Structure 1
């Protein structure tokens, strides 16, 4: 599982300007807690490298999902079940999205144990900026996918596959934020100079357009919108 950087509109235009960019600049910019190239990151993403035989054995993507979102999380859920790095946390079913990976909770935090080491190895993908009109049915179907995935997590009904018991490990994962800091130290990144996984660099302000994001959240994820308003 490979993290994916969501490029800013300007960075996307630069990528398609005809000159091959230095892709490491996006990685460095994000780690430094800047907003000049990258709007955000999906640590647990649908950018997966899976053996074809195993992908087919667990039946690939579920056709129950339609439109935008959660079909990748559901596949990752099954992949992780048969290759668990550690015991499931008590909050595994929690579906709260956060700007910074260090603040992740629930399944996003659990999946990050698989993906973040690849980021420090310099293996990542780039997602180009594009418009996301709310009138597009593809995006409006997201709420139904969210509910479907929540039901799957609550059912806990994965079968044994090739003799492998789903999430059949007693191994404890290290503390999450401490684990991230250890990854940084092991790879020569000082937290003060590279705070991007935890927060923006001091002096960096959130870009304009916050009301558009809130409106989008209200339309696509109304329950989370009102929960976050409390």
Structure 2
């Protein structure tokens, strides 16, 4: 049995989150999994509606309380949910994830068989079109991933590798003290957690560019901590085992940028000790990826999409309205 931990705060886009919870329940019927939801109850009408979802659900626990006010604190919600987990293994998930549960089962089995102590699953972010095709059952998740590797653009925004989707033991989660609850709002709490998890198993080296915060469209061109964490997703990428992130409108959060900056300041202060004079002259994951392809006899041509690092060009937008908005905003 595997327990999936999901944080819920309905401060923003409440109806969308409730809709996606319903989808999770429908898609997980008959699967050998449990859910634990950590819910910050703000005592709104939406919160009351959300709580009612659990009346007839047998495979889910709801840990609901008014834990805080103000900015969303996903770290705290995950930690409160983790306190009631009664299985050996967990999966960290967000409510927006559409998962092929056979992938969860595959890596859960590998955990049980001690193949690796944890797995970090890559995640494809979908456009509204891609999300609609999936949720309206016009295409399967596996066929949608095939489209990505065949250079289709209109269904996808970008590939996150690493992502926050992690399968691991609850004992490791507890030994790390869970997520750092000082991260508030959006950003960096997942990177902080993954770095500590990798360090727990001596799987991360200190490098001079460790705190580089540059982002790349393709995970093969990642730098800094994203690159060093992302190296542990490459074998999973080769197996094309990828989760899908359903589209949602970005909420208008006045302090979004400021919160990310504060979180990065916290992150960089915590992990500054990982910066050393040791220089890695291979500045991307390309060489490592090609080496793994050769070792495992994968045809590199099948993965050529991963070498596309083109920024957010107009071909990423799935509707005329979004393309026009992109052009106007420059």
| TM-score, normalised by the number of residues in structure 1 | 0.73
Inter-partner Cα distance in structure 1 for 2:283 and 2:176: 28
Inter-partner Cα distance in structure 2 for 1:124 and 1:105: 21
Q: 1:187 to 1:8 in 2, by over 3 A?
A: farther
Partner residue, 2:299: 189
Instruction: Assess if the C-alpha contact under 8 Å between 1:66 and 1:145 holds in 2.
Output: yes
Q: Among 171, 179, 184, which residue is 2:288 paired with?
A: 179
Q: Does 1:6 align with 2:125?
A: yes
Inter-partner Cα distance in structure 1 for 2:273 and 2:283: 27
Instruction: Assess if the C-alpha contact under 8 Å between 1:61 and 1:71 holds in 2.
Output: yes
Q: 1:36 to 1:84 in 2, by over 3 A?
A: farther
How far residue 105 of structure 1 moved from its aligned partner, in angstroms, is: 0.5
Note the 1:121-200 alignment, pairs <5 A.
Answer: 121-135=239-253, 137=255, 141-155=259-273, 176-185=285-294, 186=296, 188-191=298-301, 194-199=303-308
Q: Deviations over 1:119-143 (max 9, x none)?
A: 2223221111111133355665222
Partner residue, 1:167: none
Q: Which has the higher strand share?
A: 2
Query: How many residues are treated as equivalent by the alignment?
Result: 195
Partner residue, 1:119: 237
How far residue 6 of structure 1 moved from its aligned partner, in angstroms, is: 0.3
Partner residue, 1:85: 203
Q: Which runs of 5+ in 2 are unaligned?
A: 1-119, 275-281, 318-322
Partner residue, 1:22: 140
Range with bigger deviation, 107-116 or 147-156: 147-156
Note the 1:61-72 alignment, pairs <5 A.
Answer: 61-72=179-190
Inter-partner Cα distance in structure 2 for 1:50 and 1:39: 27
Inter-partner Cα distance in structure 1 for 2:146 and 2:283: 26
Partner residue, 2:227: 109
Instruction: Assess if the C-alpha contact under 8 Å between 1:33 and 1:197 holds in 2.
Output: no
Q: Does 1:33 align with 2:143?
A: no
Inter-partner Cα distance in structure 1 for 2:329 and 2:267: 23
How far residue 33 of structure 1 moved from its aligned partner, in angstroms, is: 3.3
The 4+ residue runs of structure 1 with deviation greater than 6 A are 211-214
Q: Deviations over 1:58-89 (max 9, x none)?
A: 10001100111111000001011122335333
Inter-partner Cα distance in structure 2 for 1:59 and 1:212: 46
Q: 1:184 to 1:52 in 2, by over 3 A?
A: same
Inter-partner Cα distance in structure 2 for 1:183 and 1:213: 40
Higher-RCO chain (CA-CA 8 Å, sequence separation at least 6): 1
Q: Which runs of 5+ in 1 are unaligned?
A: 157-172, 215-230
How far residue 175 of structure 1 moved from its aligned partner, in angstroms, is: 7.3
Partner residue, 1:53: 171
How far residue 21 of structure 1 moved from its aligned partner, in angstroms, is: 3.2
How far residue 206 of structure 1 moved from its aligned partner, in angstroms, is: 4.7
Inter-partner Cα distance in structure 2 for 1:27 and 1:105: 25
Q: 1:149 to 1:174 in 2, by over 3 A?
A: closer
Instruction: Assess if the C-alpha contact under 8 Å between 1:3 and 1:43 holds in 2.
Output: yes
Inter-partner Cα distance in structure 2 for 1:140 and 1:133: 15
Q: What SS is found at the alignment partner of 2:158?
A: strand
